[in-house]
Amino acid sequence: MTSSKTQSSSFLQTLRKKFRTRVGKAFLAIVSVFVMIGILMGLFVYYGLERFFDEFLDGVSTTLSLYIFALIFGFLVGLFFAIARVYGGAILSRVATAYIEVIRGTPVVTQIIILAYLPDTLNIFLSAQGLPTIPLSWELRYLMSAVCLGMNSSAYQAEFFRGSITSVSTGQMMAAQAIGMSRSQSIRQIILPQSLRRVIPAWANEASYLPKVTTAAYIVGVTEAFHWANATVSYTFRTLEVYALVAFFFIILITFVTWLLDTVYDEVKIPGL
Amino acid sequence: MQELQEIIRWIEYIIVNGLPATLLLTALGLGIGLLFGLVLALARVYAPTGIQIMATLYERLFRSIPILVLMFVFAIGLPWVFAFAGVGTNAIFAAVAFSLGLRSSAYQSGIFRSAILSVSPGQLQAARSLGMSEMMANQQIVLPQAFRIAVPAWSNEYAVVIKDTSFALAVGVTEMNKLAFNLYTESPALMMFILVVLTLIYFCFTYPVTKYVGEYMSKRLKRLGLGGG
Amino acid sequence: MMEPVLEVFDVWKSFDELEVLKGVSFEVAEGEVKVIFGPSGSGKSTLLRCINMLDPPHQGDILLRGESLMKKGADLNKFRSKIGMVFQNFNLFAHLKAIDNVAIGPRKVLGFTKEQARERAYSALQLVKMTDRAHHYPAELSGGQQQRVGIARAMAMEPDVILFDEPTSALDPELIGEVLQVMLDIAKRGTTMVVVTHEMGFARAVSNEMIFMDEGVVVERGTPQHFFAGAESARARKEKEVG
């Protein structure tokens, strides 16, 4: 390689090198997320839709709360069912398998309608029996939707956890028990730490998918981001612009989550695992 | 007993009027997804860098937009594009099928791309050393193996699409969930019962396929020694 | 004096900074068997991949029956159909049965009809004694059987020369014998072969010339008698013992 080009390209090269470091990459990623948010807000102004921005933020915060609730709920419940499926006795593992496979095999739309209208249906039964009814409210509807999304996510997460748990070799369990650890100790001290690190890429998949699933809550009347979109469209008839804005929001969110988890994985992964 | 008969008739009614739409949307969505997805996968593996970047951006884009938003964009925002299918409900149906196809194409592109990349490089070397051109070697040796490798992941994509068709109710497509939902005002308990029946129906369409195609094909692939980098 | 089938002329090849081949030359006449041996990393496999231009050299020339493969506009696919290759890890087409593995070259590259290609494939499989397993998939065959099918696949193209890249190195010891026997058979039938191998018994039995390579250069060359009897470089002697 002759050096005739080295003079002019050395600046670019040093720039590239700086951004290849972890700090550099993190910096770039954060900057680009902010840039995208800035573009989003700029588009609001450009389309002349600023007065809807407040409600947009309301919708966005509802979406985010649904997302985070479902993700965490899904993590805890999913982990439980995964362990139940792999290490549970004959009955528990079958129950766990049924839970996981039925939820994964059916649409979230159907699930969310069932759960969201469950209180209402129960009330009919309750009032017919003369029992006190459940107080209905939008908050309750929201809660039931969040629980449904959580259950839905838990089934998918359980599958990922199951995969990563079984991928930790059986030798590990044997070695742990050989030094006298109980089964639950072995799971907690040896299996889980390894499998939780291994599962991150797959889990990142679910974490990136879940924001899109929250739109199912629109169908049962929850006022999340997409609900805002349709409400604004019915006001302004600016269908494409409004849908573009809400789509852009999801793109930003998912890009951020993906980047965040990739970075975490890089930090946390154990070489050779 | 009369109630039970009525329930059964309702269920029949909903299945007869809703299931065909679901299946048709699934077929169209997967078909469009296959067509676009395959082209994109080939582009991402074989095309010059500029086109590769565009294909990657397309994939990223349609993986990040919720299917519900996509359906509304095409069914409500751009219905005139689909007027060729007929006006009104037909156009909406076509729009929904198209949005399902777009979304699926992004995922199928990923599936086929990784399948192509996991065909052992030695296979290509052997093919070329026989004198096959790059194109013939890909056609005769790489792609046939890539398709077989892709089957388990593809059966999973099928399950995703058939479940996603349920979102179509939001734009007014008469599918099973919508018909059940319409019963709410008449009898919420009936609606609930039918929805549970619907979950069973969906389950019958997804679980056997993913479990047996996925497992059977994975075993067969292992036996043939395909893929594995 | 007939022109040589294959001429490798002053071939140089580097990977990034690392020079792997530094001016390698040799010739192969019709019906000759050349054995190339040497320590790992000496560039032997790279040399073979240069010859059929799967990985072209940076400098030098490769001539098949007098025609240059390095010339601009050379029809490489056509040349490759006349140069056979047998790989260390067989590289049989995993989705095709044995007979189809052998037939696909004649069918798709040489343009024979399905029946003609099948006939050719069948005769090639007879040569390597694999006709009874012709309808099995590679995964159902042992390593030795797979390699024999690989040899048949190369032979079915009726090439001018066949290159063997350490054909037995990936085999279990019990299976090496059957493959070497096949190679001996086809050598005796007059096939022109260039074989990279550690199997000195084979070299002694059929090679016309042995070429010792180390660190990208030809260090020594000569008849088998030369290597197995009289004067030889210390390195070659050591390699002989290990092989």
Query: Per-residue pLDDT tens for B105-139?
Result: 999 999 999 999 999 899 999 999 999 998 999 99
For β-strands C33-37 and C209-214, DSSP reports them as: parallel
pLDDT at residue A8 greater than cutoff 70: no
Q: Which residues of chain A have a CB within 8 Å of the CB of B92?
A: none
Number of domain units in chain A? 1
CB contact under 8 A, A212 and B169: no
Could you tell me if residue A65 is inside a domain? yes
pLDDT at residue B31 greater than cutoff 50: yes
The 10 Å Cβ neighbour count of residue C188 is 11
Could you tell me if residue A14 is inside a domain? no
User: Which of the pair, B215 or A225, is modelled with greater confidence?
Assistant: A225
Q: State pTM to two decimals.
A: 0.82
- What would the pLDDT profile of A210-219 be if each residue is shown by its tens digit? 999 999 999 9
Q: Could you give the strand order of the β-sheet that contains C18-28, starting from the edge strand earlier in sequence?
A: C18-28, C6-15, C59-64, C67-68
Could you tell me if residue A12 is inside a domain? no
In 3-state terms, what secondary structure has residue C97? coil
**CA atoms of A229 and A58, how far apart (whole Å):** 12
CB contact under 8 A, A113 and B76: no
pLDDT at residue A5 greater than cutoff 70: no
pLDDT band at C156 (very low <50, low <70, confident <90, very high): very high
pLDDT at site B221 = 80
User: Which of the pair, C58 or C1, is modelled with greater confidence?
Assistant: C58
pLDDT at site A271 = 66
User: Which of the pair, A92 or B2, is modelled with greater confidence?
Assistant: A92
Give the residue-averaged pLDDT of C51-79: 90
pLDDT at residue A178 greater than cutoff 90: no
pLDDT above 90 covers a percentage of chain B that reads 71
| Token duo for residue C46 | 């790279």
CB contact under 8 A, C105 and B130: yes
Q: How big, in percent rounded to 5, are the helix, strand and coil portions of chain A?
A: 85, 0, 15
Q: Which residues of chain B have a CB within 8 Å of the CB of A124?
A: 188-189
Instruction: Give the ipTM.
Output: 0.90
Fold of B2-224: MetI-like fold (1.10.3720)
Helices A200-213 and A138-167 sit at what angle, rounded to 10 degrees? 160
Q: Which residues of chain B have a CB within 8 Å of the CB of A229?
A: 69, 72
pLDDT at residue A243 greater than cutoff 90: yes
CB contact under 8 A, B67 and A125: no
pLDDT at residue C6 greater than cutoff 60: yes
B88 phi and psi angles, rounded to 5 deg:
70, -125
Q: How big, in percent rounded to 5, are the helix, strand and coil portions of chain B?
A: 85, 0, 15
pLDDT at residue C241 greater than cutoff 70: no
Could you tell me if residue A15 is inside a domain? no
- The Cα of B13 is separated from the nearest Cα of chain A by a number of Å equal to 18
pLDDT at residue A3 greater than cutoff 70: no
Compare CB distances from C109 to B130, B225, B226 and report the shortest one's residue: B130
Searching chain C, which residue's CA lies closest to the CA of residue B129?
C80
pLDDT at site B137 = 93
Q: Which residues of chain C have a CB within 8 Å of the CB of B123?
A: 91, 93-94
Could you tell me if residue A158 is inside a domain? yes
Residues of the domain holding A159 = 22-45+52-268
- What CATH number does the domain containing A203 carry? 1.10.3720.10
Q: Which of A144-148, A190-194, B77-81, C107-111 has the lowest mean pLDDT?
A: A190-194
Provide the terminal-to-terminal Cα distance of chain C, rounded to the nearest Å.
35
| Token duo for residue C94 | 């995993």
Could you tell me if residue A7 is inside a domain? no
Q: Which residues of chain B have a CB within 8 Å of the CB of C93?
A: 123, 126-127, 141
In 3-state terms, what secondary structure has residue A271? coil
Chains that touch C (3 or more CB pairs under 8 A): B
Could you tell me if residue A4 is inside a domain? no
Q: Which residues of chain B have a CB within 8 Å of the CB of C82?
A: 131
CB-based contact C85:C147 (threshold 8 Å): no
pLDDT at site A185 = 79
**CA atoms of C82 and C159, how far apart (whole Å):** 4
The 10 Å Cβ neighbour count of residue A3 is 6
Q: How far is C-alpha B56 from the chain's CA centre?
A: 19
- The Cα of B54 is separated from the nearest Cα of chain C by a number of Å equal to 30
pLDDT at site B214 = 78
**CA atoms of C74 and B100, how far apart (whole Å):** 47
| Token duo for residue C27 | 């010739």
Compare CB distances from B207 to A105, A118, A211 and report the shortest one's residue: A105
**CA atoms of C160 and B129, how far apart (whole Å):** 13
Give the residue-averaged pLDDT of C73-80: 88
pLDDT at site A4 = 45
The 10 Å Cβ neighbour count of residue A163 is 15
- CB-based contact (8 Å) between B224 and chain C? yes
In 3-state terms, what secondary structure has residue C179? helix
CB contact under 8 A, B177 and A109: yes
pLDDT at site C235 = 63
Which residues, other chains included, contact B157 with Cβ-Cβ below 8 Å and sequence gap of 6+? Answer: B30, B33, B104, B107, B108, B111
Could you tell me if residue A80 is inside a domain? yes
pLDDT at site B162 = 97
Compare CB distances from A212 to B67, B159, B195 and report the shortest one's residue: B67
The conformational region for residue C43 under phi > 0 = left, psi -120 to 50 = alpha, else beta, is left
- CB-based contact (8 Å) between B163 and chain C? no
**CA atoms of A54 and C9, how far apart (whole Å):** 76
- What would the pLDDT profile of B139-185 be if each residue is shown by its tens digit? 999 999 999 999 989 999 999 999 999 999 999 999 999 999 988 88
pLDDT at residue A1 greater than cutoff 50: no
Nearest to C10 by CA among C70, C64, C60: C60
pLDDT band at C233 (very low <50, low <70, confident <90, very high): low
pLDDT at site C1 = 54
- What would the pLDDT profile of A44-56 be if each residue is shown by its tens digit? 888 888 888 899 9
Q: Could you give the strand order of the β-sheet that contains C83-86, starting from the edge strand earlier in sequence?
A: C83-86, C161-165, C193-196, C33-37, C209-214, C217-222
Q: Counting Cβ atoms within 10 Å, is residue A37 exposed (0-12), middle (13-18) or buried (19+)?
A: middle
CB contact under 8 A, A230 and B73: no
pLDDT band at A2 (very low <50, low <70, confident <90, very high): very low
Q: Which of C37-46, C86-95, C123-132 has the highest mean pLDDT?
A: C123-132
pLDDT at residue A153 greater than cutoff 70: yes
Name the interface residues of A facing B (CB cutoff 8 Å).
101-102, 104-111, 113-114, 117-118, 120-121, 124-125, 208, 211-213, 215-216, 218-219, 226, 229-230, 233, 239-240, 243, 246-247, 250-251, 254-255
Nearest to C136 by CA among C101, C100, C98: C98
| Token duo for residue B94 | 């076509």
pLDDT at site C155 = 94
pLDDT at site C141 = 93
Chain pair A-B, CB pairs under 8 angstroms: 112
- The Cα of B70 is separated from the nearest Cα of chain A by a number of Å equal to 8
pLDDT at residue A7 greater than cutoff 60: no
CB contact under 8 A, B163 and A219: no
B13 phi and psi angles, rounded to 5 deg:
-60, -45
User: Which of the pair, A22 or B100, is modelled with greater confidence?
Assistant: B100
pLDDT band at C232 (very low <50, low <70, confident <90, very high): low
pLDDT at site C29 = 94
CB-based contact C152:C191 (threshold 8 Å): no
- The Cα of C139 is separated from the nearest Cα of chain B by a number of Å equal to 5
Q: Which of A25-39, A59-73, A166-180, B71-85 has the lowest mean pLDDT?
A: A166-180
pLDDT at site B229 = 37
